[in-house]
Amino acid sequence: MIPFVFKRREKEDPDARKGYKKTFAICVRFSGMYPNLCGKWYKIFGVYGMYLHVMFLWYIFGFGISAGYGIAYSDKTVVILNLFFGAVLAIYYVVVHHAMYNRDKLEHLLKIVGRGFYTYERPPTPAEQKILQSVDVECKKTLIRAIVLVSVIVVLQLFLMPALYGFQGEYSTIEEGGIPINKHLSLPAWLPYNTETPTKFWLTLLLFLNDGSAELRIIGSAIIIFCNLCTCLASQFDLLTNSLRDLEARAMYVYEHEPKNGKPLSNDRCYDDPRFQAIMNHCLNENIRHYQILLEFNSVLQSYVGPAVFGILSGMALAVSAPWVLIFDIYNSSEGLTPMNAIQMFNYSSSMWSCTAFLYLYCYYGQLVTTASEKLHFALYETPWIRANTSFRRKLIITMNICEEPVHVDVLGLVSANFATFLEVVKTIFSYCNLLMATSGSLGQ
């Protein structure tokens, strides 16, 4: 795929490299969503991209056949598991391809992060340095959260339960005349062979563990890059707000460092100096330019993540609701709460809550951008406009009108990533759960 779509590059852009390190885009790179096109990595990522294509297409085929068998044999467990894994697979099949083919947009965003959004004439104050340093801390926290959530699903869903069955010698649930899907494996995909022997079972388990981990790397990387880019954007809005509230001190700094001035001014007399008034306008122009850059960054960010996040927010509700049905079935089963059933319930619930946490992170960091941008309108009003000249006031009024509507991380212009959207997603999850509970009664266990 990569040799047919992307051209080899001689070297990476240094600014993009800085942004790459700051946002921990290494995760996105090694998930295959941001392939390296330089040197020997060009062929390596080309081969890995081919592997991802084959893997996704195979599991789409395997889950499709498995779901068909589940319906034909009225097997609720197989149908529900295919609904869960099939929905996740379809969503992230779109996500990984959209990210690959739009890697230049991500590179553009990383360049902006790497070289810095905007540099003011006055050096950063301690408060502004603290805002900039907090970005690194928050990006690391996001990385840790994503790794923990992905690790939970890998260990519990892809390894723990099938390994327990394997250690007990229960390698297959396929019986003559029964559904030809092995429920003891981690993924409910159809296989052209039966895993009735230890060798076949453990090799298939390792295959599923490898392929499932590849998909989970994509899931974790998608949330890491989205959240860290939103963190960078929100911190810039905080920086802009702080700069606006400190506008008079910035103007004083510029005035005093001009060679022909140099003499400090008192607060009572500074506004009588036409040169100081001109510098006030210059400082406000700096803030306006900074705001324009943030809007441009947000526009590219929405273009890059919009389709992917729309698929995640709209499709994951169905996927998350599916395990609820299996949890209730296990709880109400005639076997009672056996140790294996209890572990299975914990397994399903952990996967469900991990996926819900991913959805929350998308909405939380989108809300972070909106909340930070809401402060701009008030920060503009707090500038010393009363003592400024007419030109300053005119610019201020125009900018306040523009900033009256906060910035949103919109998803294809349909919804925004924020707390209100998360609440709607949670409502949708329960609606799907009730629907599945009501319609799955005709299926057997």
pLDDT of residue 108: 92
Least confident of 16-25, 297-306, 343-352: 343-352
Token look-up 């941001």 returns 34
Question: 3-state DSSP: the chain helix, strand, coil percent, rounded to 5?
Answer: 75, 0, 25
pLDDT of residue 441: 59
pLDDT of residue 235: 94
CA gap 89, 321 in Å, rounded? 15
Better-scored residue on pLDDT, 376 or 176: 376
Q: Encoding tokens for residue 53?
A: 């294509």
Least confident of 121-135, 258-272, 388-402, 415-429: 258-272
pLDDT tens figures, 69-100: 988 888 888 888 888 888 888 888 888 888 88
Distant-in-sequence, close-in-space partners of 344: CB < 8 Å, separation ≥ 6: 161, 330
Q: What is the pTM of this model?
A: 0.90
CA gap 23, 183 in Å, rounded? 39
Does pLDDT of 3 surpass 70?
A: no
Q: What percent of the chain has pLDDT over 70?
A: 95
Exposure string of 40-49, with b = 16+ CB inside 10 Å and e = fewer, is: ebbeebbebb
Q: What is the mean predicted confidence (pLDDT) over 209-217?
A: 89
Torsion of CA 90, 94, 95, 99, to 10 degrees: 160
Residue 268: pLDDT band by 50, 70, 90 thresholds? low
Decide: 106 and 222 in contact? Cβ < 8 Å: no
Task: Provide the CB-side half-sphere exposure for 398 (13 A, CA).
Answer: 11
Does pLDDT of 47 surpass 70?
A: yes
pLDDT tens figures, 152-165: 888 888 888 889 88
pLDDT of residue 443: 55
* Range(s) of the domain holding residue 386: 2-442
pLDDT of residue 241: 94
pLDDT tens figures, 122-153: 888 898 899 988 898 999 989 898 888 888 88
pLDDT of residue 374: 92
pLDDT of residue 289: 95
Q: What is the mean predicted confidence (pLDDT) over 159-178?
A: 87
From its phi and psi, is residue 336 left (phi > 0), alpha (psi between -120 and 50) or beta?
A: left
Residue 271: pLDDT band by 50, 70, 90 thresholds? confident
Decide: 254 and 82 in contact? Cβ < 8 Å: no
Mean pLDDT of the chain: 86
Q: Which residues pair with 159 in a beta bridge?
A: none
Domains held by the chain: number: 1
pLDDT of residue 203: 93
CA 261 to chain centre: 50
Q: What is the mean predicted confidence (pLDDT) over 427-443?
A: 77
Cα distances from 431 to residues 67, 83, 326, 424, in angstroms, run 22, 15, 16, 10
Look at residue 409 and give its three-state secondary structure. coil
pLDDT of residue 445: 47
Residue 206: pLDDT band by 50, 70, 90 thresholds? very high
Torsion of CA 141, 147, 149, 151, to 10 degrees: -150
